[in-house]
Amino acid sequence: MKTLLQLKASQQLKMTPQLQQAIRLLQLSTAELNLEIREALESNMMLEIDEPDIDITDQGVDLEVEDKTPEIEISASHAAEGSHVYDEYAPSFARNDDMPQAEGQNLGSLKAHLFWQLNVLNLSDSDYVVAVSIIDAIDNIGRLCCSLEEIKETLCGSIEPIPEIEEINSVLKIIQEFDPIGVGARSLSECLLLQLAEFPEDTPFLREACLCVGQYMSLLGARNYEDLLDKLGIKKNELIQILRLIKDLNPRPGEQYDSVSKDYIVPDVFVFWEKGDWNIELNDEAVPRVRVNSSYSNLVRKIEKKEEQLTVKTHLQEARWLIKSIESRNDTLLRVAHAIVEHQSAFLAFGEEAMKPLVLNEIASSLDMHESTISRITTQKYMHTPRGVFELKYFFSSHVSGSSGNTISSTAIRAIIKKLVASENKEKPLSDSKLSTILSDQGIKVARRTVAKYRESLLIPASIERKELS
């Protein structure tokens, strides 16, 4: 067999470094892009902040420029009313060298607050060690998460003789008098009873409330009000007063001393109504503007050594690529935002129930872009609208077919379910099956399981858990 050499012409698509950078910047959030720019400013002498009144290269100005953009604060826990941090009360364990030591920086705010209260008491050394073990076993909601027998086991080797269960329980009673009220409880029932014990003795229905949380917690949790009325021998209006008293208690007293995790979101796009139309603008202050340093770029021709000249040229090329990639990202973001607003203008005007079904491919087709590009540019990018701040992906949702052949977005269905639940009879809450029937009567065919899924996504409890007396 004779060996032959053959030449074949073929086309192959290869991504240039510039294209790779542009694609990567598309999917970065504002915070990540800011970090990317900061790192580029530190590593590339050709880049500088685009501020005409500041010469960074000559004056050595700190690159940590103050961000004047107003931040939208979104709490990770919408139910939290705030947090109280007591770091200034970091515990001091200066009892003696044999006492257990703890580092303030490793303590949660709740434990720091408990240790501060402990250190102002005049306890014996033995009781102090027991108290430290108990506080160490209290979780961030204020609940004691182990038994007294387990506390006793942890004391082995710490003190002699090892205290008996009765002594450990006596120390626990002391801690249960600490602030916040209810801390150190071993169960929900005990937590609520500790709080009720602080009420004046002449508080109306206090005895009945204690019976409810102490003996009939299972009936209370199941909202079995009929049996509660029989057990307590009271009337319906009296039970309503008791339930109001119990609802004012805090089942998680320690959470108010724990730091609440918060995300700070800087909107990428602003949408506002002006002169009879929706206007869309980029938030120019969200990301610092950068430019090529003209002083350094002019030095390229003056450098004689080839290695140094190559380094400077590389920095200059990278700087231009970064600036162009940022401009491309901003242009794409603005175009996509315009397309979304045009499609979801009814939502901006009338709310969630007017949200239309929308998928990535629809926006991609209208802008002649690839679907993956739309996916990248809508991830972790936020739009500030008169109705709030939303991630761009929020405006995309699946659809359900209506009886008349039209389609309804899942977001709109969730809004309708939320509205129906808000207006329901609290004594006879709407079941998922009933919600499905009501939606069907409105021309929206949604199965009971789908209703349950939407309800759970809205953090709405099941009907049995929503039952109330009124």
Could you read off the pLDDT of 124-162 as tens digits, one per residue?
Answer: 989 999 999 999 999 999 999 999 999 998 888 778 888
Average pLDDT across the chain, whole number: 82
Taken in order 398, 269, 331, 293, the sign of the CA dihedral is negative
Evaluate whether residue 373 is within a structural domain: no
pLDDT band at 13 (very low <50, low <70, confident <90, very high): low
More confident residue, 64 or 467: 467
Q: Over the stretch 348-380, which tens digit does the pLDDT of each residue have?
A: 999 998 999 999 999 999 999 999 999 999 999
Q: Which candidate, 72, 176, 62, places its Cα nearest to that of 391?
A: 72
Per residue in 76-97, pLDDT (tens digit) is 333 333 333 223 322 333 343 3
DSSP 3-state of 407: strand
Whether 295 shows a pLDDT value over 50: the answer reads yes
- Looking at the fold, whether 160 and 230 belong to one and the same domain comes out as no
Verify that 194 and 170 share a domain, yes or no: no
User: Which whole number is the average pLDDT over 58-73?
Assistant: 38
Residue that finishes a domain, picked among 149, 175, 201: 175
CB atoms within 10 A of CB 125: 12
Same structural domain, 91 and 165: yes
H or E stretch covering 262: strand 262-265
Q: Domain range holding 146?
A: 87-175
Q: Is the pLDDT of residue 15 over 70?
A: no
Residue 415 domain-assigned (yes or no): yes
**158 with 201, same domain?**
no
The string of pLDDT tens digits covering residues 211-257 is 999 998 888 888 888 888 888 888 888 898 999 999 999 999 998 88
Q: Which of 269, 251, 282 is nearest to 395 (CA)?
A: 269
Residues 407 and 456 in one domain: yes
Same domain? For 159 and 99 the reply is yes
DSSP structural state of residue 461? P
Band of residue 10 on the pLDDT scale cut at 50, 70, 90: low
Q: Is 449 a domain residue?
A: yes
- Indicate if 155 and 205 belong to the same structural domain: no
59 pLDDT higher than 90:
no
Highest mean pLDDT among 37-51, 52-66, 260-274: 37-51
Number of domains forming the structure of the chain: 3
Q: Which of 238, 256, 274 is the last residue of a domain?
A: 256
Q: Which of 104-108, 228-232, 330-334 has the lowest mean pLDDT?
A: 104-108
Q: How far apart are CA 184 and CA 323, in angstroms?
A: 57
Same domain, 208 and 251: yes
**Residues 378, 336 contacting (CB under 8 angstroms):** yes
Residues 405 and 455 in one domain: yes
DSSP state of 302: G
Whether 303 and 334 have beta carbons less than 8 Å apart is answered as no
Assign 278 a pLDDT band (cuts: 50, 70, 90). Answer: very high
| 8 A C-beta contact, residue 268 and residue 235 | no
pLDDT for position 262: 57
Longest dimension (CA), the chain: 110
- Residue 135, pLDDT score: 94
Residues 96 and 171 in one domain: yes
Residue 353, domain member (yes or no): no
Domain limit, last residue, from 256, 276, 311: 256
The reply to whether 98 and 155 lie within a common domain is yes
Q: Above 50 in pLDDT, residue 69?
A: no
